[in-house]
């Protein structure tokens, strides 16, 4: 049996109220957050995507932020606030399980202003049961096992001890032993030489609470050194690519029935919550179908999809020290996204009350079909600071720094969201860039950044090249109609009538100040591809080498013809073709064509 150091216990604690719950939980949360990187490095189950620390940290910091202004002395009210915040912030498998544990705890102390040790023991037994019920296929050797052993120890001790300090100290020892035993229960942990990351995070939470009880301060956690073979983790497990999550708000959510339906779509299913609010987590290859399944049970919000294949590549095959982040408005071809390992934070869009995650739960082709046929004009919304923060937190454990390139501030609040998120990670250098262009223009700036990183350029050198690319990148978008800009409120109906009557087709660009402005017009639609080509070609300085990106709005034939014209003059290797995505497409409408070019100052 493992020998434990003698512990000096504080004065007896005979009850817990809402304020004590808040203080101790906050101490535990900060302990886990300090261990984020270590938890990511030992994450090999259920898939080695190295994000358990990030997900637990995000879940717990969301709880801390949401409850800080809602502290209650009544423990029933305080625990309800904690549970609600946990459901809102839950991320990942372990985060969802922990959220359900807290929901169960809140259920277990209903009707109490404060609780003694026996009431606490009954509440954690309820919490344990809730946590197990949240999973379709519970696995021992995970956070569940440590939760169970800790809860059982608390229950056993509470029958004869009425001091929280003694009970929590002794139960913590049992949780530590259960943690050490997890490799005996899961072979993948034994092969990697690690304990379960989610279980380790739960023990960290308990240790933070215990430090606060014994010393009244939050002690920094030491991180064990990870052997090289542990850092490599395990081989990717399972055939599912996307970690998919959402929140359901309903009146009578049938969680067992929902579990059965989702079980047909993937694995690692966790459904945490109540009959009126449920957090759903699963691994699947069809996030759109998963969200549609959830919509049958209520209103779906907070859709989140992570590419676990990309996360595994970042964790186990990091080629460079600088991560490259972009929102999904860059309209780069998928081959470039994959080749340069570019991390996309998706914008969201909705047709009426149906919500989508750009290029994840709604493909480009599906978007154009919806735009033509759906009576509701779509609305787009920028990624939230939370979306960026979660992405940055994950990258911070695998890269030394990040560069984040986004839409102009005058056109979107995306840059502000990224800026807010970056401020929450002061120790992780993040270079924010206002691309001062849109669509494939952003794509060209991102490509210049990717090539700089691939060449081994430093953070500062890469930033210099990006800033030069922003200055030397220009975009022109020819609209086939102003109808969609009118529907979106960007253009008055009167202007559409005038241009239609005159047979004028508007060409838009982005001004040096970052505003979307007219750059010219074409009179009539005939030969529009050739005339747009000449219009843009005349904007390119003589004798300069350029990279050209062409985008089309569901008019591939015209896009290919336009690319061919540029390829004849500049070479096929200096052009590429892509499709306009929702961010520009909701206003440009079908039939639009766009051309962006980047003047390469380093080439004659």
Residue 583 sits in the same domain as residue 504: yes
Q: The domain spanning residue 540 has which CATH number?
A: 3.30.1180.10
Tell me whether residue 211 is in a domain.
Answer: yes
pLDDT given for residue 227 in this prediction: 39
DSSP-derived secondary structure letter, 573: G
pLDDT in tens, 368-427: 999 999 999 888 888 888 889 989 988 998 899 999 999 999 888 899 999 999 998 899
Distance CA 252, CA 262 (A): 17
Q: Tell me the average pLDDT of the chain.
A: 89
Whether residue 12 is contained in a domain is answered as no
Using the structure block, give the residue that is written with the tokens 């029958």.
159
Residue 137 pLDDT > 80: yes
Residue 4 has a pLDDT of 44
Give, in order, the Cα–Cα distances in Å from 159 to each of 15, 147, 167, 353: 15, 19, 10, 52
438 located within any domain = no
Cis bond upstream, residue 46 (ω within 30): yes
Give the separation between CA 87 and CA 277, rounded to whole angstroms.
Answer: 8
Q: Which among 288, 317, 346 is the end of a domain?
A: 317
Residue 91 shares a structural domain with residue 170: yes
CATH number at residue 41: 1.25.40.340
| E strand or H helix at 541 | none
The answer to the question of residue 263 being in a domain is yes
309-324 mean pLDDT:
78
Helices 75-89 and 92-108, axial angle in degrees (round to 10): 160
Q: State how many domains the chain has.
A: 3
What pLDDT digit, counting tens, does each position of 99-119 carry? Answer: 999 999 999 999 999 999 999
Helix, strand or coil, per DSSP, at residue 52: helix
Looking at residue 45, its pLDDT comes to: 83
The pLDDT of residue 294 is 95
Which residue did the predictor score with more confidence, 125 or 499?
125
Domain with 550, as residue range(s), is: 473-599
- Does residue 9 register a pLDDT over 70? no
Q: 83 with 197, same domain?
A: yes
Do 71 and 156 lie in one domain? The reply is yes
Spatial contact of 258 and 271, defined as CB atoms under 8 Å apart: yes
pLDDT, tens digit, for every residue of 575-589?
Answer: 999 999 988 898 899
196 in the same domain as 272 = no
* 441-479 burial code (b ≥16 CB/10 A, e <16): bbbbbbbbbbebbeeebebeebbebbebbbebbbbbbbb
Classify residue 282: in a domain, yes or no: yes
* φ and ψ at residue 538, rounded to 5 degrees: -70, -15
Structure tokens at 551: 């985008």
pLDDT at 17: 96
Asked if 65 and 84 count as a contact pair (C-beta separation under 8 A), the reply is no
- The reply to whether 70 and 174 lie within a common domain is yes
Q: Write the CATH number for 244.
A: 3.30.70.250
What is the structure's pLDDT at 196?
Answer: 95
Examine the domain organization and report whether 185 and 292 are in the same domain: no
Instruction: Say if residues 35 and 198 touch (Cβ distance below 8 Å).
Output: no
Q: In this structure, are 123 and 158 located in the same domain?
A: yes
Q: What are the φ and ψ backbone dihedral angles of 161, each rounded to 5 degrees?
A: -125, 135
Check residue 504 and give its pLDDT.
Answer: 82
pLDDT at 51: 82
Domain boundary among 317, 336, 364: 317
Tokens 């206003």 belong to 587
Instruction: Convert the pLDDT of each residue in 492-521 to its tens digit.
Output: 677 766 777 767 899 999 999 998 889 999
Is 278 a domain residue?
yes
CA 319 – CA 467 distance, rounded (Å): 23
Q: What is the pLDDT of residue 237?
A: 47
Looking at the structure, tell me whether residues 200 and 272 fall in a common domain. Answer: no
Q: What is the mean pLDDT of residues 242-248?
A: 92
Report if residue 339 sits inside a domain: no
Q: Which residue, 257, 282, 317, sits at the end of a domain?
A: 317
pLDDT exceeds cutoff 90 at 282: yes
Euclidean distance between CA atoms 64 and 88, whole angstroms: 12
Better pLDDT: 232 or 26 = 26
> Does residue 58 sit in the same domain as residue 149?
yes
- pLDDT of 418: 94
Is the pLDDT score of 135 beyond 90?
no
**Residue 17 half-sphere exposure toward CB, CA atoms < 13 A:** 6
Q: Residue 165 above 60 pLDDT?
A: yes
% of the chain at pLDDT higher than 90: 65
If asked whether residues 301 and 188 sit together in one domain, one would say no
Do 194 and 141 share a structural domain?
A: yes
pLDDT digits 0-9 by tens, 67-103: 999 999 999 999 999 999 999 888 888 999 999 999 9
Is residue 61 assigned to a domain?
A: yes
d(CA 78, CA 53): 25
User: What pLDDT is attached to residue 496?
Assistant: 66
């Amino acid at each position: 049996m493992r020998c434990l150091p003698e512990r000096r216990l504080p004065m007896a604690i005979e009850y817990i109220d809402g304020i004590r719950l808040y203080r101790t939980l906050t101490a535990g949360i900060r302990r886990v957050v300090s261990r984020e990187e270590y938890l990511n490095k030992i994450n090999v189950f259920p898939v080695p995507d190295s994000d358990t620390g990030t997900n637990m940290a995000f879940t717990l910091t969301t709880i801390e932020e949401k409850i800080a202004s809602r502290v209650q002395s009544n423990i029933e009210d305080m625990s309800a606030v904690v549970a609600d915040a946990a459901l809102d912030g839950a991320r990942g498998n372990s985060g969802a399980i922990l959220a359900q544990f807290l929901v169960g705890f809140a259920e277990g102390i209903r009707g109490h202003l404060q609780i003694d040790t026996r009431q606490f023991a009954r509440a954690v037994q309820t919490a344990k049961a809730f946590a197990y019920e949240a999973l379709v296929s519970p696995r021992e050797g995970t956070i569940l096992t440590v939760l169970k052993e800790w809860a059982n120890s608390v229950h056993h001790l509470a029958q004869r001890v009425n001091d929280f300090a003694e009970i929590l100290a002794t139960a913590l020892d049992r949780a530590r032993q259960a943690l050490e035993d997890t490799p005996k229960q899961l072979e993948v942990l034994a092969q990697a030489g690690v304990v379960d990351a989610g279980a380790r995070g739960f023990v960290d939470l308990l240790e933070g609470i215990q430090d606060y009880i014994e010393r009244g301060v939050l002690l920094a956690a030491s991180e064990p050194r990870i052997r090289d073979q542990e850092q490599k983790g395990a081989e990717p497990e399972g055939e599912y690519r996307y970690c998919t999550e959402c929140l359901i708000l309903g009146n009578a959510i049938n969680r067992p029935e929902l579990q059965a339906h989702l079980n047909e779509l993937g694995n690692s299913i966790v459904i945490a919550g109540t009959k009126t609010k449920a957090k759903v987590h699963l691994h699947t290859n069809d996030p759109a179908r998963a969200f549609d399944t959830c919509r049958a049970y209520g209103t779906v919000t907070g859709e989140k999809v992570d590419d676990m294949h990309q996360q595994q590549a970042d964790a186990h095959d990091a080629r460079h020290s600088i991560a490259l982040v972009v929102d999904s408005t860059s309209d780069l071809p998928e081959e470039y996204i994959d080749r340069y390992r570019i991390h996309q934070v998706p914008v969201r869009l909705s047709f009426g009350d149906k919500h989508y995650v750009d290029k994840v739960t709604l493909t480009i082709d599906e978007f154009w079909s919806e735009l033509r046929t759906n009576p509701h004009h779509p609305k787009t919304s920028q990624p939230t600071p939370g979306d960026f923060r979660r992405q940055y937190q994950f990258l911070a454990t695998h890269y030394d720094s990040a560069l984040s390139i986004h839409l102009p501030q005058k056109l979107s609040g995306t840059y502000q969201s990224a800026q807010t998120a970056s401020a929450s990670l002061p120790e992780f250098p993040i270079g924010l860039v206002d691309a001062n262009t849109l669509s494939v223009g952003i794509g060209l700036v991102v490509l210049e950044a990717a090539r700089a990183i691939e060449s081994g350029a430093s953070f500062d050198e890469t930033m210099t090249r990006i800033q030069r690319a922003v200055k030397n990148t220009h975009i022109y978008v020819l609209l086939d109609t102003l109808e969609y800009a009118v529907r979106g409120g960007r253009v008055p109906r009167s202007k559409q009538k005038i241009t239609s009557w005159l047979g004028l087709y508007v060409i838009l660009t982005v001004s040096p100040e970052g505003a979307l402005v007219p750059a010219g017009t074409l009179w009539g639609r005939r030969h529009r591809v050739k005339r747009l080509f000449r219009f843009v070609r005349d904007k390119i300085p003589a004798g300069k080498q350029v990279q050209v990106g062409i985008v089309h709005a569901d008019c591939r034939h015209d896009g290919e013809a336009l690319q061919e014209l540029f390829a004849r003059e500049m070479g096929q290797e200096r052009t590429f073709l892509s499709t306009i995505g929702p961010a520009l497409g909701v206003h440009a409408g079908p039939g639009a064509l766009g051309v962006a070019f980047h003047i390469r100052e380093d080439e004659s």
